[in-house]
Structure 1
Amino acid sequence: MLRLLIADDEVIERKVLYKTLQKNIGDQCVIFQAENGRQALRVYEEEKIQIAILDIEMPGINGIEAAQKIREKDKECCIIFLTAFDEFSYAKKAITVRALDYLLKPYDEQELMLVVEEAMRLAAEYQANRQAAESQAGRGQKYELPETALPAGDDMEDGGQVRLSKVTEIISHYIETNYMYDISMQDLARHMNYSEAYFCKLFKQCFNKNFTSYLTEYRVEEAKRMLAEPTVNVKDIGRAVGYSDSNYFAKVFKRITGQSPTEYRLCIFQRG
Structure 2
Amino acid sequence: MYRVLIADDELIERKVLYKTLTRELGDQCRIWQAANGREALELFDEHDIQIAVLDIEMPGINGIEAAAEMRRRKSSCSIIFLTAFDDFSYAKKAIGIRVLDYLLKPCKEEELVGVLDEAMRLADKALLEEKGEEVQTIMEPVFKPSSELNTGDGQVRLHKVAEAIRQYMEENYVRDLSMQDVARVMNYSEAYFCKLFKQCFDKNFTTYLTECRVEAAKRLLTEPMVNVKEIGEAVGYNDSNYFAKVFKRVTGISPTEYRMSIFNRK
For normalisation by structure 2, the TM-score amounts to: 0.85
- CA separation in 2, counterparts of 1:117 and 1:265? 23
Paired residue for 2:75? 75
Paired residue for 2:12? 12
Which digits, 9 at most, give the CA deviation of each residue in 1:3-30, with x for residues without a partner? 1111112222211211211122212211
Which digits, 9 at most, give the CA deviation of each residue in 1:63-109, with x for residues without a partner? 11211222222212111111111123223223321111110111111
Where in structure 2 are the equivalents of 1:184-195 lying within 5 Å? 184-195=178-189
**Alpha-carbon distance, 1:187 to partner:** 2.6
Paired residue for 2:230? 236
Whether contact under 8 Å (2:80, 2:102) holds in the other structure is yes
- CA separation in 1, counterparts of 2:56 and 2:47? 21
Alpha-carbon RMSD across the aligned residues, in angstroms, is: 2.1
> Percent of counterpart pairs with the same letter?
67
1:58 and 2:52 equivalent?
no
Paired residue for 1:126? 126
Where in structure 2 are the equivalents of 1:32-111 lying within 5 Å? 32-111=32-111
Query: Which of 246, 255, 263 pairs up with 2:257?
Result: 263
Whether contact under 8 Å (2:7, 2:53) holds in the other structure is yes
Any idea what SS the aligned residue of 2:59 has?
A: coil
Whether contact under 8 Å (1:80, 1:100) holds in the other structure is yes
- Output the amino acid matched with 1:191: V
Any unmatched runs of 5+ in structure 1? Answer: 134-145, 147-158
**Alpha-carbon distance, 1:32 to partner:** 0.5
For normalisation by structure 1, the TM-score amounts to: 0.83
- CA separation in 1, counterparts of 2:204 and 2:257? 28
Alpha-carbon distance change, 177 to 127 in structure 1, aligned in 2, over 3 angstroms: closer
- Output the amino acid matched with 1:84: A
1:207 and 2:194 equivalent?
no
- CA separation in 2, counterparts of 1:128 and 1:221? 27
Any unmatched runs of 5+ in structure 2? Answer: 138-149
Alignment: residue pair count: 248
Q: Which runs of 4+ in 1 moved over 4 A?
A: 159-162
Whether contact under 8 Å (2:100, 2:178) holds in the other structure is no
- CA separation in 1, counterparts of 2:9 and 2:265? 50
- Output the amino acid matched with 2:78: C
**Alpha-carbon distance, 1:271 to partner:** 4.1
Whether contact under 8 Å (2:98, 2:180) holds in the other structure is no
**Alpha-carbon distance, 1:225 to partner:** 2.4
Query: Which of 241, 247, 250 pairs up with 1:247?
Result: 241
Alpha-carbon distance change, 50 to 60 in structure 1, aligned in 2, over 3 angstroms: same
Which digits, 9 at most, give the CA deviation of each residue in 1:115-164, with x for residues without a partner? 1111111122222322449xxxxxxxxxxxx9xxxxxxxxxxxx797610
- CA separation in 2, counterparts of 1:182 and 1:253? 17
- Output the amino acid matched with 1:23: R
